[in-house]
Amino acid sequence: MTEPRKFRGLRLVLVAGAIAWLMSGIAFAGDLHKAIEMIMQANKKASASQKRIDKMSEDSSELLAQYRTVLEQTESVRAYNAQVKKLLASQREEIGALENQIENATAVGREITPLMLRMVDAFSNFVELDVPFQIEERRDRAAKLHGMMDRADVADSEKFRRILEAYIIEVDFGRNIEAYEGTIEKNGGKLTVNFLRVGRITFVYLTLDESEAGVWNQEKRAWEVLPGEYRSSIKKGIRIARKYTGSDLIRLPISAPEVTK
């Protein structure tokens, strides 16, 4: 049976429309795929950009932390430099004061050296003119003072201290008593005796066998033999000086002081 022409034309239209619809669907699917790919690529780019932004943010944070650290260090350095400036100023003042002290010390040294030389000479003369007790020891002390004055390695302050020390020792001799063994010249020889010194008011001796006693005559600068009555007193004085017995009154010869007119 033959299909009517109008139905045949309608079917052709429907087939053509279906084909067109299928073709448009295919085209749409291709565009959608491309769009999805574009979105995915955009997402990838956005993710990469975000990573770069995060990295830049981290770098910025690190740089900010470093900047703050450097800023703190700078402030510390400024404070330290300010303190150093104060210290330098103080040190300059101290150096100036020390230089003044050195200049003054040099001037004092120039003035005190002649004085010390005179003191040493006076000490030596005094020892030679004084009562001759412990004479070798005192002469040696005077000689050491003379030698010290020629030494450059001994400061002026130390020289002056030693001179004063020697003078103090001499002063103490006049305030104490002592007994010691020594020798005197007798008949062209040496005679061993026990000496007794009471300050500087008397200087006597007693022979070891206690057979003779004598006293130093400062005016004549010679020994004089004493009467036998003094021997026991001198013996007792020697025992007192050596702390063998307690203090007691003893009778000793004393030279009368000279009267100056």
Residue 67 forms part of a structural domain:
no
Residue 88 forms part of a structural domain:
no
Better-scored residue on pLDDT, 214 or 5? 214
Q: Which domain holds residue 250?
A: 176-255
Residue 25 forms part of a structural domain:
no
**What's the pLDDT at 38?**
75
Look up residue 261 and give its amino acid.
K
Look up residue 185 and give its amino acid.
E
**What's the pLDDT at 40?**
77
Give residues with Cβ within 8 angstroms of 202, minimum separation 6: 196, 215, 216, 252, 253, 254, 255
Adjacent-strand bridge partners of 214: 205, 225
Report pLDDT digits (tens) over 119-177. 999 999 999 999 999 999 999 999 999 999 999 999 888 999 999 999 999 999 999 99
Q: How many domains does the chain have?
A: 1
What is the maximal distance between C-alpha atoms in the chain? Answer: 199
Better-scored residue on pLDDT, 48 or 5? 48
Residue 211 forms part of a structural domain:
yes
Look up residue 107 and give its amino acid.
A
Report pLDDT digits (tens) over 43-89. 777 777 777 777 777 777 777 787 788 777 778 777 877 887 787 78
Residue 239 forms part of a structural domain:
yes
Residue 64 forms part of a structural domain:
no
What is this structure's pTM? 0.58
Report pLDDT digits (tens) over 200-236. 999 999 999 999 999 999 999 999 999 999 999 999 9
DSSP state at residue 228 = G
Residue 246 forms part of a structural domain:
yes
Residue 189 forms part of a structural domain:
yes
